[in-house]
Every structure is written in structure tokens, then in C-alpha cells.
Amino acid sequence: MEKISPRIDVAFKKIFGVEENKDLLISLINSVVSEEDQVEDVTLLNPYNPKNFREDKLSILDIKAQGKDGKRFNIEIQITDEADYDKRALYYWAKLYTEQLKVGEDYANLSKAIGIHILNFTSILNTEKYHNVFHICEKDSGIKYFKDLELHTIELNKFVKDTREELNELVAKVKTSLDIWAAFLTRHDLLNKDNLPAPLNTPTLKKALDVLDVMSFGSEEREAYEDHLKWYRIEANTLKKIEAKGREAGFEEGLEKGIEKGLEKGREEGLEKGREEGREEGREEGKLEVARSMKSKGMDLDVISSITGLSVETLTKELS
């Protein structure tokens, strides 16, 4: 039987979003945030409950937690590269910040809100870092005056670019506690909890692997997991096609620009444009393929729209 993947949001929350595994969530949070934001304990604000799947399967897969000092954390794993992801990330951060206050309460009661977004796709193209931290900073001096806003992006595809890599190659990249969690999320299939290499031999990773080994799903959970796994695989295959199309388009355009700007620079510019055009086209095709699968299972168009980001009008036209 195929191992459950922690990269799928249903499994991710079942690992990190339950009371008995709060130590894993605390370890994950502390591997991401700065020294001043480390937590000793957290309160889960929306703990995982399999009974919620029937009524609320679309909105329970992020993890909200609060530290003892009031700081709030929103942790989620994003399966696919949705359009306007950056706006969505800010919207969820804003909700995390504003929902702290009840009517009539003072703004002084607001605590820092930290968003941690683990992405199964590449979103930030102009850096090779897989972990990036964003604040509101003054344009010229870089002063961080509005300190309550903090967003982290963790792009797993930048940590493991080749899914064929061996265990020794994976271990060579592990330098930090976040690297350990990235290794778990991307290549858990290479890891044996009873025989972990020294850089990965930690109690929290052993527990996470054990939780994954014994994890089971009810019928509602299994259906959601399988749908989201298929969606993830379609996205991964789409990205491979995008890369090939981007290289082809970029090479052709690069040859033309190379006459004016120099061959290598022109090829690079064309490649980037080709990738971007291919990404948009491939993303749309992938979403439609997932939507067709969901419709064949009798899912409502409103639900399909919420999952894929495609409008009901588009779905009605394309799936009719």
C-alpha cells in the first residue's frame, strides 16, 4: 500500500493539528520563526476533527495556534499554485490579525500574527532560497516599523529539486531544524525512523514518521485525501510540461533577441517569458482536469469552484 504523503493538506493537518502532536507543531513553528518568536507551548484554535469533513472540508485544513504571549500563528500547506496566491496569503494573514479583537476592545490587545505558508510549488522566481521572510519595511532605510506583520514562505520544490535523489544527497543538505522538516515533507519515503542518519536523528522526526506510519483515514477523509493527492500529482506533471514548453519557447525567442542583445542574455530572457506563459496555460489545464474528475464524482460546482479557484461560469462552460 502506498505511503500517505505529508505534503497533502489533509494528512499535514492530521499530523500537526491535533492535541497529541502539539510538540511536533511547536517544533515546526520554532524551526521557522526567529529567536524572539519561539514558543514553549501553543493552544490550537482550530484542532483537527474528522467529523468536520462532511460539512466544512474546504476550510479546516489550515492550522491556527496561539502562543502563551498571545502571538498567533497560521500554518498551512498549499497544494497547487493558485492565481493571486500573494493576495490570498495577505487576506488570511489579515483575518488572523483582526479576528483577535472583539467589539469594543482596544487595539493594544492585538498581538503579532505570523503566517507560515508551506508551498508545493515555486512562487518566488527571483531567489533560490526555499525559506523567505516578509515584513513591511520603510522603502529606503529598511526600518521595520509595523512589526506585527510577518509572512514566511517555504517552497518545498526548491529544497528538493530532483525527486530521484538518494538519502546521502538529502542528508548533505540538512543544516537546520527547518531542513529536517523539509526533508520529512519532501522525502519521507527515504526515511526509516529506526535507522536515521545523524543529522536527522531527532525525537520529533521519529515521532512524525511514526505518526505517518500508523495514520489511517475514515471514508470522508480518504476521499478528500485522494482528491487532493490527484490534484497535487496533476500539478506536478503540469509543471514538468511547463518547463519543457518554457525551454522550447525561450530558446526560440532567445535566438531572435540574441541578435540584438547577445545570444546568452537573449536566450535567458526568452526562457523566462516562455516559462511564465507556459505556467499560466498549464495551470489552467491542470485545474480543468481536476475539475472534470471532481464532477465525475458528483461534486457540486460551488465546491469545485472553491477548491480549484475556477469560476462557476467557467466550470459550467468547460464541463458541459
Residue-wise DSSP of 132-175: EEE----TTT-----TTEEEEEEEHHHH-S-TT--HHHHHHT--
Domain ranges of the chain: 9-214, 219-319
Question: H/E/C letters for each residue in 231-252?
Answer: HHHHHHHHHHHHHHHHHHHHHH
As a whole number of angstroms, the distance between CA 228 and CA 100 comes to 31
Q: What is the pLDDT of residues 186-226, one digit of tens each?
A: 999 999 999 999 999 999 999 999 999 998 888 778 877 88
- Residue 63's DSSP bridge partners are 75
CA dihedral sign of residues 284, 290, 295, 298: negative
pLDDT score for 256: 55
Residue whose C-alpha cell reads 518545498 in the numeric block: 156
As a whole number of angstroms, the distance between CA 183 and CA 199 comes to 11
Q: What is the pLDDT of residues 28-45, one digit of tens each?
A: 999 999 999 999 999 999
85-92 long-range contacts, CB within 8 A, separation 24+: 85/123, 86/123, 89/115, 89/117, 89/151, 89/153, 90/151, 92/62
Chain centroid to Cα 164, Å, comes to 21
Structure letter (DSSP) for residue 60: S
- 49 sits in the region (left: phi over 0; alpha: psi -120 to 50; else beta) called beta
Closest CA to 11 of 308, 221, 155: 221
As a whole number of angstroms, the distance between CA 151 and CA 153 comes to 7
pLDDT score for 97: 94
As a whole number of angstroms, the distance between CA 56 and CA 61 comes to 10
Whether the Cβ atoms of residue 319 and residue 295 lie closer than 8 Å to each other: yes
Residue 227: what residue type?
D
In the β-sheet with 149-155, what is the strand arrangement from edge to edge?
42-44, 63-67, 72-78, 113-119, 149-155, 131-134
Whether the Cβ atoms of residue 234 and residue 290 lie closer than 8 Å to each other: yes
pLDDT along the chain (320 residues), means of 10: 83 93 97 96 89 56 91 89 81 92 86 95 89 95 94 95 89 96 95 94 96 86 80 66 53 50 52 57 70 77 75 83
As a whole number of angstroms, the distance between CA 267 and CA 64 comes to 45
CA angle, residues 103, 108, 112, in degrees to nearest 5:
100
As a whole number of angstroms, the distance between CA 265 and CA 160 comes to 27
Q: Is 45 helix (H, G, I), strand (E, B) or coil?
A: coil
Whether the Cβ atoms of residue 137 and residue 144 lie closer than 8 Å to each other: yes
As a whole number of angstroms, the distance between CA 86 and CA 100 comes to 22
pLDDT score for 255: 46
Whether the Cβ atoms of residue 21 and residue 15 lie closer than 8 Å to each other: yes
